[in-house]
Amino acid sequence: MPHLYVEYSNNLTGLNEQGLLEKLNAVVCGHATVADEADVKARIAALQQFRIGTNPAQRGFVHVQLRLLAGRTPEVKKELSDAIAAVLRAEVPQPAGVMVQLSAEIADMDKASYYKDRL
C-alpha cells in the first residue's frame, strides 16, 4: 500500500511512461500521510483496445487510480487527487487532432482484508 495504477490509450504517442511514473511516485511518496516511500507500488499500461463515447473522433485518455488503506479524510484524498492531476496536466502529451481526457481517482482498500509482507 499504496498502489498506483495508470492506464492510457495507446494513441497518446510521446508519453514518457517512466518519467510519468517517477513524477507520480514523487507526489504520492511526498505526501505527509505516506510513511514509507518503499510502500508505493506503481504500474502503467497502454491500452491497445479502448473506446471513448460513440463519436468516431480521435480521442484519448489517461486515468490514474491510487488505492490506499481506508481511513484517510476526504480532504487528504482531494489533495492527492489534485496533485496527481497537476502531474498529468504537465506530463501528458496532446497529439495533434486528439482530444485527451485526464482523470484521477483515490480509492479505499479494506484494511481487514489487505495483506502485505516484505521478504
Q: Would you state the torsion angle of the CA atoms of residues 87, 35, 113, 24, taken in this order, to the nearest 10 degrees? A: 10
Task: Quick: pLDDT tens for 79-116.
Answer: 999 999 999 999 999 999 999 999 999 999 998 888 88
pLDDT for 116 equals: 86
Residue 42 · residue 25 · CB < 8 Å: yes
Please identify which residue in the block is written with the cell numbers 473522433: 57
Judging by beta carbons within 10 Å of its beta carbon (0-12, 13-18, 19+), is residue 69 exposed, middle or buried?
middle
Name the pLDDT band for 57 (thresholds 50, 70, 90): confident
The pLDDT value given to residue 118? 85
| Domains, the chain, ordered by start | 3-109 (3.30.429.10)
pLDDT in the model for residue 113: 87
Q: Encode pLDDT of 32-48 as tens digits.
A: 999 899 999 999 999 99
Task: Please give the pLDDT value at position 111.
Answer: 84
Residue in 7, 113, 25 with CA at minimum distance from that of residue 69:
113
